[in-house]
Structure 1
Amino acid sequence: MHGADLPLVMLDSDPADTGVAARVNLDIADGMRQVTEHLLALGHRRFIHLASAIDSWTFAVRAGPSTTPYRGCRAPSCGPCPQHSTCGPDRAAAEHALAAPGPRPTAIICDDDILAAGACKAARRLGLRVPDDVSVTGFDDLALATAVEPELTTVRLPAEQVGERGMTALLAVLDGRPAEPGSLPVHLVVRGSSAPPPPRS
């Protein structure tokens, strides 16, 4: 398609890609900022970031140095923990992070809801309660987010708006007009998996 004469409108695509007439992206970085600020406001200062190993621009943004929660954190437990997006390895990675020597993280920020579900399972296997002992957040607001207990605090992505903006951009490009600039906003949905850190944590 990049070599065709037809204009190309891309949804959720790498801004570095060339040959695109218009693109419709989500403000992923702001979603991570919202998660971080929510946990900081609750009093958390020891984070672990459970990062996806999927090689795509959106996950690179979620793990970028300007968006990750540990950017201002000095505790030894703060840092990224790349894993594949399947519940088995996610649970093992979270278990390792929670059981490592030193102060235990009080919050696990996950790149997506599947990782977050694995983190919740890991906490339970270690005898920890979510969110009493450790908070867990996801990203995407999949149906899974409300199927687990407690329900996940996560970032909702406006899928319908992406489609609408994409169609509007395509019609604009076909008509020779510039497409609407800017990324679509996302917003944090606070549910039961996040709470203040335990006392003396």
Structure 2
Amino acid sequence: MKFIHTADWHLGKLLKEHSMTEDQAWLLENRFLPIVDEEKPDVILLAGDVYDRSFPPEDAVELFDRMTEEIVGKRGIPFIVISGNHDSAERLAVASRLLRSQGLYIFGPLDRLSPVILKDEWGPVAFLPMPYSEPARVRVMMNKLGMEEAEKVKTYEEAEKILSSRMLSLLPDEGEGMRKIALAHVYAAGGMSSESE
């Protein structure tokens, strides 16, 4: 299966009080969409930080809406999106249950996650969405779902292990030979140091 993986759009970013949304729109429309048209992926993945803040400005929301229309509406490409640490998981996922039938899969709240299973000529592929999951949010999810030992989740690593185990447990029984792709927004240890996020 061919996919394009992208992340950290940070729509609505301000740089010294100047909105970057117009520049971001130009990049998405004139650089990203031509790559999509050239590569013709089976699915596009956006691994968090869709917006630069929890309350994105109206023009940033409009830009994301236009991009979903371009990708899913006009090109018919499934689009899987997860929330990152800059996004409001709940706001990003508004109407997400309804939009799944159209090919737009948006995941934010941890208690509403489910695998997205797509098929190609070699069979099913399970995409396992794992939005940004700080330990406190994972504990809340565990308590909401009646999972035991929530109080033991203290670190990001423990939170990710719980979340990935949960996602694997949601796969259908015939999922043993299924290809699986995790889509996560995480802090990774051991990377190059940088002043940029």
Determine which structure has the larger helix proportion and give its number. 2
Larger radius of gyration between Structure 1 and Structure 2 = 1
The structure carrying a bigger strand percent of its residues is: 2
Q: One fold, TM greater than 0.5?
A: no
